[in-house]
Structure 1
């Protein structure tokens, strides 16, 4: 495994950066308990509190980010709202506990997007990106296979294959999306375990030939839409800068 060849000093830095940029977001999984079925039935409905906490975390991260990340985070919130209503309310791909779209969800998408972006663009991580990518890809394959064999998660496995196929000719995006796959999987496991949202037993509650676990493993496939959309809007707003960057890349390659 390539990751074992990374110098210990660099490996420690990568782990530290992972904990700083992504590990903190994992803490939010435990905050989801306050929007759980158990908490709402035995204590009180505190979805409003989680919305406030997520807003606070979002703005804290926003004001500490670079201008580019700030702009991408705003796009992610706007597109996240539209995507949630489309996939959850429109296509019944999954259903939230109160059959709404909690405010913390699209805001969480933006925070997740920003955290992974900063991790994947860090200089020491980029230096050893192939080693990290191999480690993450092995984890993803094992994870999706376990879900397929033990939970009959055909829907998730098909989406996982889709992730690898879409990244086949996009090597520059692999680190970002492998990281996103893992973080989304952790978030989905926590959210569904608490009953904050639920996935149907078949894909889109329509396709019987696609049995699904709750949650399916490869849901990060749909985050491609968020990333591509954010990136497209950014390049359209900064056409001159983006054109200059492409010219530099063509010269260096």
Structure 2
């Protein structure tokens, strides 16, 4: 496997970057337990403290981010709120425990977007991006196939295939979205296991020909919308800079 051929010193640097950028969200999976059905029924409803914790975590991540990432995180918060109310409350794509949209969710989208953006731009990650993309792609393919075979997750498998097809046309985005897929899948497994939210047995609880697991495997496909939205808002605010960059790129072709 390509990753195993990375020199030991560089591999340690990559693992360090991975832990710093991904580790916080893996820990947050366990924080979701405090918004779980078990915790609420046996101890207390702690969704408000979790919201406060996420606000604090978001502020810390925002403070440490570079200017471009900060701006993208703000756009992601705005789009995150709109997307959550559209897909959850409007289209019934999934349902939160209290049938609301917890504050920690859209803030979490923005924080996740920012962390993965920084991870994908890290020098050591860029240096070995093809090897990392290959490893992540294999893991994603196995994960989606297992979900399809053992959990009849047709909806998730179809979304995963769509993601691969979209990235076939946008190869430069592979690292970002493969990383996004893996982290989103981890959060979804934890959140649904604790009962913080749930997915219906078919896509949108409407399309019976698309059976779905709780959660479906390929839900990160919808982060394409978040990425496109953030990218569009960023380029519109920096039209002159973006025009110059495109001009430079054309001159080097």
Instruction: Tell me the TM-score normalised to structure 1 length.
Output: 0.99
Whole-angstrom distance in 2 between the partners of 1:194 and 1:236? 40
Residue aligning to 2:145: 145
Whole-angstrom distance in 2 between the partners of 1:129 and 1:243? 27
Count residues in correspondence: 253
Written as runs of structure 1 = structure 2, the 5 A alignment for 1:232-243 is 232-243=232-243
Q: Secondary structure in 2 aligned to 1:200?
A: coil
Q: Residue 249 of structure 1: CA displacement?
A: 2.0
Deviations 1:183-242 (A, max 9, x none): 000000000000000000000000000000000000000000000000000001001111
Residue aligning to 2:58: 58
Whole-angstrom distance in 1 between the partners of 2:250 and 2:124? 24
Q: Residue 12 of structure 1: CA displacement?
A: 1.2
1:216 aligns with 2:216: yes
1:94 aligns with 2:99: no
Whole-angstrom distance in 1 between the partners of 2:90 and 2:163? 23
Q: After alignment, is 2-11 or 187-196 more displaced?
A: 2-11
Whole-angstrom distance in 1 between the partners of 2:32 and 2:247? 45
Residue aligning to 1:41: 41
Q: After alignment, is 171-180 or 18-27 more displaced?
A: 18-27
Residue aligning to 1:249: 249
Q: Secondary structure in 2 aligned to 1:232?
A: helix
Structure 2 unaligned spans of 5+: none
Q: Residue 64 of structure 1: CA displacement?
A: 0.5
Whole-angstrom distance in 1 between the partners of 2:12 and 2:171? 24
Question: Would you identify which runs of 4 or more consecutive aligned residues in structure 1 move more than 4 Å?
Answer: none
Whole-angstrom distance in 1 between the partners of 2:111 and 2:160? 23
Residue aligning to 1:164: 164
Q: Residue 74 of structure 1: CA displacement?
A: 0.4
Whole-angstrom distance in 1 between the partners of 2:250 and 2:28? 41
Instruction: Tell me the TM-score normalised to structure 2 length.
Output: 0.99
Whole-angstrom distance in 1 between the partners of 2:247 and 2:131? 28
Q: Secondary structure in 2 aligned to 1:57?
A: helix
Whole-angstrom distance in 1 between the partners of 2:43 and 2:18? 34
Q: Residue 178 of structure 1: CA displacement?
A: 0.1
Q: Residue 248 of structure 1: CA displacement?
A: 2.1
